[in-house]
Chain A
Amino acid sequence: MARFSKAIIDHFTHPKNVGDVPAPDASAHVADPVCGDQVHLSVLVADGRIIEARFRAHGCAAALGTASILTEWILGMEPAALARLDEAAVTGKVGGLTPGQSHCARLAVDVLQALAQDCASRAQGQRT
């Protein structure tokens, strides 16, 4: 297969939703201890669904592209649904990853789960 899917190339050459959501409803930052790749996601939630997502990332081009794709993919999702997305789903969404890029799917799953957890924690905090 080609080194990068068309979607990943499109997103790392034209990254979407770069930056930080001001006053986010949830955010998460994860890092891969082996390769050093980092992804930061922040979101706004309204009526139980994600209405805005932004990212920052440091790492390989596939990690940047994947993070950018995530910010479009998760719009409209319920925060709890993020924790159910697995590596296979991420890999499919980004148009495929080579074995050397599989850490990008792991990193994406980690940041989505952390985001879901942060959403849940903040919601819990508001209720108590």
Chain B
Amino acid sequence: MTYPPIDDGPVAGRRLYFDNNATTPLLPAVSDAMYEAVTTFGNPSSAHLYGEAAAALLDKARVSVAALLGCRPEQVVFNSGGSEGASSVIVGTGLRHVSEAGHIITSAVEHPAVLRACEFLRELGFELSVLPVDGAGRVDPPALQRALRRDSRLVSIMHANNETGALQPVDALSGIACEAGVAFHCDAVQTAGKEHIVVAEGFVTISAHKFHGPKGVGALEVRTEAPLQKLVFGGEQEHDRRAGTENLLGIVGLGAAADAARARLGDPDQQSRRRAIGSALREGLSSITGAVVNSPAEDCLPETVNVSFQGLRGDTIVDVLSARGIAVSTGSACHSAHLEPSHVLLAMGLSADLARGAIRFSCSCLTTRSEVDEVVAVTEHTVRQLYTTSPGCD
């Protein structure tokens, strides 16, 4: 493959955003909907015309989100996003069973919002089983079957991994939990708007800003008879499942983002385009000297390519690319001089060195093929430069 010639330094005006798993820009349709709603200041709970206007917007957004998730509007609970969704289910389950405790199951590759909430339950006296994953980052459904106990209270497993894009077989996993009569929570923050979320029964967490909606707003789908413990008390908003005056503007944005996402999901051209963009990115990055692609080749979000460059540090590549106008992220948290390799990549069996070298490139529906080509070319140049600089390199 021939890449276009590049300037090897900071390029004036170059701004290529490949960190869409962190957050996405608002779509024009979303910001337009929010602008239109900005003067609707009534409280949706008020019994007058101002309140009715606000409640109408709330209802419209709820229908949009329900349509995206394939559930009934009353099964949608608006909240502040993914972390709240996970905590409300996990910590809520803990509070419901705090007197007798019990057993919680999750996986080794979950987002910290899930893992830390589960660890909190362990501090409360619950036993925690953390299921391992294979080299592709997936949980083996029979492993869940074996882990289930009579006192299991909840299984929480994500749909797609935020670092690698690996998709979990959540239909099978939720089915196993459901058959055992155990509540299931799916962190679908990375898949909402990209994949159909097929969960037999349970709770599903989504966050607006991951699919071109605003930050600070999300939803929890309650597709289960299992009770949801209220964590925020006060009024009876959200069918008495979450108190507090609703974040109306954010919810309007979430609804508009859900409408746009549903249209993309149902458009074969858009689906082919996302696969083609993802393949080009994966193919281009994998051809760079020293590259080891950590995202699985199959059953993976095409938008996400996690790649390590042997012998190089991910944080260095990220910083050099950023200086060249390209936004990507590491698969690990880097705190000054202390580098923590990604728990996800370590759980998949990568060495600490390879995990420290990981970088995540993530696209959105706005990413173009020419942007992919430019990112691959600049990354190739950057990696070559860093190898040349390394001690022991001739």
Contact = CB atoms under 8 A, between A and B. Distances in A.
Interface of A: 3-4, 9, 12-15, 18, 29, 32, 34-38, 40, 55-61, 64, 99-101, 103
Which are the 9 A-B pairs with shortest beta-carbon distances? A100-B336, A61-B319, A35-B337, A56-B391, A40-B391, A9-B323, A58-B390, A13-B9, A103-B337
Interface string B311-353: 0010110011001100000000001111100000000000000
A34 B313 CA distance: 15
Interface of B: 8-10, 313, 315-316, 319-320, 323-324, 335-339, 385-386, 388-393
Given A14-B8, A100-B336, A100-B337, A61 B320 contact: yes
A18 B338 CA distance: 26
A37 B313 CA distance: 10
A18 B390 CA distance: 9
Given A9-B10, A13-B10, A59 B323 contact: no
A56 B393 contact: yes
A38 B313 CA distance: 12
Contacts of A64: 316, 386, 389
B323 A60 contact: no
A90 to B, nearest CB: 16
A10 B62 CA distance: 50
Contacts of A9: 10, 323
13 contacts: A9-B10, A15-B385, A18-B389, A34-B338, A56-B392, A56-B393, A58-B313, A60-B313, A64-B389, A100-B336, A100-B337, A103-B336, A103-B337
A38 B337 contact: no
Contacts of B337: 32, 34-35, 37, 100, 103
A15 B337 CA distance: 22
Contacts of B391: 29, 38, 40, 56-58
A35 B339 contact: yes
B11 to A, nearest CB: 10
Nearest to A64: B389
A4 to B, nearest CB: 7
Nearest to B390: A58
A14 B338 CA distance: 26
